[in-house]
Amino acid sequence: MAEKKYDVLIVGGGISGAAAGIAAARMGADCLLVEQYGFLGGMLTAGGVGPMMTFHAGSLQVVRGICEEVVARMKQKGQSPGHIPDSTGYTYSVTPFDAEGMKETLEEMYLEAGGRLLYHTAAAGVTCRGNRLQEITVANKAGLSRLRADIWIDATGDGDLCQWAGVPMEKGRPEDGKNMPLTMNIKMGNVDTQKVREYMRGHLDQFTHLNAQNVDLIDRAVRLSVSGFHREFRQALAENRVFSVRRDLLFFETNTPGEVIVNTASVCGCDPTDPWALSQAETLGRQRAAALARFIKAEIPGFQQARVLQTGPAIGVRSSRRLCGKYCLTAEDILTGKRFWDAVAYGGYPVDVPPPSGDKDRVHAGRMQKIRRLTGGEVYGVPYRCLLNDTIENLIAAGRCISASFEAQGAIRVTPIAGAIGQAAGVAAGMAAAEKKLPAELSASELRKNLISQGAFLLPEEEEHEENV
């Protein structure tokens, strides 16, 4: 493969990388996106993750821009109902979608913007000179080759480029380095959701966040979200027929009526950056998913005629490496709704950290005592500084690997917020390439203006203003 130098090169085509590529290309950058699979979407399309949750903080939509455009296009094509009430009662909204529609739409938008794609290609190493990333080595069916760029975006999820380039990183919780559990999702079809709704209405005490005050959510949601079946599920847990860090069964209806994604089969103790451990987690995850599916078909109302359509395809990873950046977003920042002069993305999803060692994890219990659940309408920002580091000047992080504490990552890891962060990374990279500047030399106010011009949601700056990062 011939060497070529790009303005912007993104590694990783999940929601953050895809949004970054679309944003950078729309800024006029000569942009290449390198992706290990043959499609975009990451965990949304390769990990069976769904729905997207949440675009909202209470009734206020705080994720817009490219992610909202993706949803609008899928809705127009009948591939998503759009934002609907979350009938679990946990968040304000969920956004179901067709995985195939997500692949189509992300690719369509990126190519329309003028970006280039290199599929079936994995980054395999980096070359740095001084404090700049010069080139990466990639591996594919053609062998090993090199790619060069002025500005780089690490959208690998695990912060691979940052790690290989010598940028300081953290992984897992501070006490023992343990990561959040992984989950092997199950897609099941032919579910009688009417029977599920009937059972929910008659057994509110068996559903985690439902009560007499919000029971109308069950009927207002055009696609069902369920967190409950406490009695049946906890009995199965006690008898070791299923394994999960959860104490309830969690599933979400997709865009297709009667088709659900079950997000419950857990694998603990895995370092997702260790390929041997990740391989073991995949096999164990499938075994646990199969056992869970047998339990669901046998005991959960509405599932007697259901069938498993797929697992995964890949196990879902919540957390791994995190950048040690120019600013580290904390749980306190999120819980207090701290405002930042360089905020480039916003969220309303709560701090959601499943116990790394299961339901008897005392370290987790102690840490989470300090974390309250966000009430509807609370908004928090993500500073641009969380995407930048002090080691490699032309490298921007995007998605869940940005600079955040273990608990804060539990909030910003979800796909709408990761996508908003990706859009910010892409706009910044496009600006840096056009202005012949380093990402940290950009005007934060100009970056925010360009994000607004791309439809992003931003609140007025409140902290003391600094022109450059």
Residues of the chain with CATH 3.50.50.60: 5-176+320-453
C-alpha pair distances (Å), 314 with each of 37, 46, 248, 297, 429: 11, 6, 23, 23, 30
pLDDT at 362: 67
C-alpha count within 13 angstroms, C-beta hemisphere, residue 392: 29
Cis peptide upstream of residue 51 (ω within 30 degrees of 0): yes
pLDDT at 464: 53
pLDDT in tens, 322-362: 999 999 999 999 999 999 999 999 999 999 999 998 777 76
pLDDT at 467: 62
pLDDT band at 373 (very low <50, low <70, confident <90, very high): confident
pLDDT in tens, 181-200: 999 999 999 999 999 999 99
pLDDT at 462: 59
pLDDT(377) > 90: no
| 7: enclosing H helix or E strand | strand 5-11
CA distance 217 to 198: 13
Q: State the amino acid at position 291 in one-letter form.
A: A
3-state secondary structure of 75: helix
pLDDT at 372: 75
Integer-rounded Cα radius of gyration of the chain = 21
For residue 119, give the DSSP letter: -
Q: For the chain, what percent of residues have pLDDT higher than 70?
A: 97
pLDDT(466) > 90: no
pLDDT(457) > 70: yes
pLDDT in tens, 222-249: 999 999 999 999 999 999 999 999 999 9
Cis peptide upstream of residue 127 (ω within 30 degrees of 0): no
What is 5-176+320-453's CATH number? 3.50.50.60
Cis peptide upstream of residue 313 (ω within 30 degrees of 0): yes
| Dihedral (CA of 174, 208, 314, 116) sign | negative
The tokens for 392 are 């490699």
pLDDT at 424: 99
pLDDT band at 374 (very low <50, low <70, confident <90, very high): confident
Residue 275's contacts (CB-CB under 8 Å, 6 or more residues apart) are: none
pLDDT in tens, 132-148: 999 999 999 999 999 99
pLDDT in tens, 43-88: 999 999 999 999 999 999 999 999 999 999 999 999 999 999 999 9
Rounded mean pLDDT of the chain? 95
pLDDT in tens, 288-323: 999 999 999 999 999 999 999 999 999 999 999 999
Mean predicted confidence (pLDDT) in 276-285: 98
C-alpha pair distances (Å), 127 with each of 84, 86, 384: 46, 46, 25
Mean predicted confidence (pLDDT) in 362-387: 82
pLDDT(411) > 80: yes
Q: For the chain, what percent of residues have pLDDT higher than 90?
A: 90
pLDDT at 375: 73
Look at 461 and 210; give whichever has higher pLDDT: 210
